Amino acid sequence: MERESMEFDVVIVGAGPAGLSAAYHLKKLANDKQQDISVCVLEKGSEVGAHILSGAILETTALDELIPDWQEKGAPLTTPVTEDELYLLKDQQRATKVPGWAIPAPMHNDGNYIVSLGNVCRWLATQAEAIGVEIFPGFAAAEIAYDDNGRVKGVYTGDMGIGKDGEQKDSYMPGMALYGKYTLFAEGCRGHLGKQLISQFKLDENSDPQHYGIGIKELWEIDPALHKPGLVVHGSGWPLDNDTTGGFFLYHADNNQVVVGLIVDLNYSNPHISPFDEFQQMKHHPLFADVLSTGKRLSYGARAIAKGGLNALPDMAFPGGLLIGCDAGTLNFAKIKGTHTAMKSGMIAAENVLNALIQNEQENLPDTLTGFTDAFRDSWLHKELHASRNFGPAMHKFGPIMGGAYNWIEQNLFKGRLPWTLHDTKPDYAQMKPASECPEKHYPKPDGKLSFDKLSSVYLSNTNHEEDQPSHLRLLDPAIPVKVNLTKYNEPAQRYCPAGVYEIVEAESGPQLQINAQNCVHCKTCDIKDPSQNICWVPPEGTGGPNYPNM
């Protein structure tokens, strides 16, 4: 069976905030100019929003520009932030509330909204489709298509109906080729095609290594008497130790629901650390237990976060397309927000793509959209990221206390205008120390009321994959997990994975790594944190993965 092909003016990979904003803005501008520009968006989830997971506090800066009448059009922004609180957890019982004047300026949320980012994306998709954008959920972009000159000309979707043995099943359907004059990659953090593009075109040769965190989140329904719509709580400290930076969040959304989560920076060095278990333990602190103990857990999920900021941004333009949003790493970690920045990057991309399409005939289209780079540097997005460029490096270099003090001085007193730039040039995976050099961690057993195990949590993420398919978690060398990672690091994949995908099991020949790919929630942490860089995450069959409701 031959691969079918479809041609568009623009192909966009990923129906998240960046991809949908690019699609809507491009089509809207083209319609306003009476230009017939075809735009296609591919989404690997079963529906738009199925794989979207974020805190999320939404700053409307980009949305106000993109769809000024978003309120009249029914955007699901119904819970404005009413109060900010910041805490330092000293131990399992005590907490210190930070006075308002001591909170770093970027963390104030006046005018922002507590949202389900998945629902925001679902709404954005309806707005885009209404003006002519074509959106195809359930189709995973598996490969990049290049022309004879090495220019990106589109993507190939993954084949369907391949068995674990690599043979075609009766249900086999070859993937499709989707070709575009330009292709925008908006896969989110650690996009597998974005990673290839960065390597292929050496887009990061002038950048610091990208840095990451893993964000773990739960949605709870709580006692109405304890619900405070619009309250935003952030903080850090216990149970994370001084070697492990990160922070927690507790947001009171609508309908008597709260979201609670923990972000653990993936530069930690102790291989015994389990971010999932740190989060479960954290909920027993009275700050959370007093809110959650009489409530009901509704959903669970996890996702990696690109937090390197401006210093780690690669070149975003390459021959035939652009990297946008978290695929490039546009999140502002000082604000703990990436939605408005991703949206703005998509809008800048749309404007530059449209200009190229209108001003040039097909045979004269510029290979690389250099105008995007100039427009990005002239935008409020670049200004915002520049002002927060030292936030992450300061936390990594100086620790949570001194790093926090540095950031308060830079952000509150100097507004991000200090005349130097801090750098963090050691990749997160390279920070890990041998297990023999680190204290072991012993986590309490979950009580089933506030804390839970991984498998019952994965169940709440509605994760599902076709079982008879090749594993989408590929080992470059199958011997490394036991010979290197188990021997040296006590195989940390057992712990950094928040979904129980990786297990060391005893076989007749000795210990082996068992990969439970069915559990994978597509967080990408294994691709990032494996100390041997031996795990490569690739997309499974389309529609596979989590199906997050209201996350």
Residues labelled as active-site residues? 54, 303, 339, 497, 520, 523, 526
Asked whether 21 and 94 are in contact (CB, 8 A), the reply is no
Tokens found for residue 80? 């404005």
* Gyration radius (Cα) of the chain, Å: 23
Our CA angle for 277, 309, 198, nearest 5°, is 95
**39, 443, 54, 6: which is closest to 213 by C-alpha?**
54
Our CA angle for 354, 355, 357, nearest 5°, is 65
The torsion defined by the Cα of 294, 298, 303 and 305, in degrees rounded to 10, comes to -50
**503, 500, 505, 494: which is closest to 529 by C-alpha?**
494
DSSP structure string for 230-258: TEEEEEEETTS-TT--EEEEEEE-STTEE
Q: Which residues of 125-147 are buried (b: 16+ CB within 10 A; e: fewer)?
A: bebbbeeebebebbbbbbbbbee
Tokens found for residue 91? 């131990």
The percent of the chain in helix, strand and coil, each rounded to the nearest 5, is 30, 25, 45
Rounded Cα–Cα distance for residues 303 and 522 (Å): 7
DSSP type of residue 545: B
Asked whether 229 and 254 are in contact (CB, 8 A), the reply is yes
DSSP structure string for 367-399: SS-HHHHHHHHTSHHHHHHHHTTTHHHHHHHHH
DSSP type of residue 479: T
Rounded Cα–Cα distance for residues 498 and 170 (Å): 34
Distances from the Cα of 81 to the Cαs of 97, 186, 258, 264, 411, in angstroms?
Answer: 18, 28, 13, 24, 21
Q: What are phi and psi of 302, to 5 degrees?
A: -150, 150
E strand intervals along 432-547: 473-475, 502-507, 510-515, 535-537
* Bridging pattern class, strands 535-537 and 473-475: antiparallel
Tokens found for residue 394? 């300061």
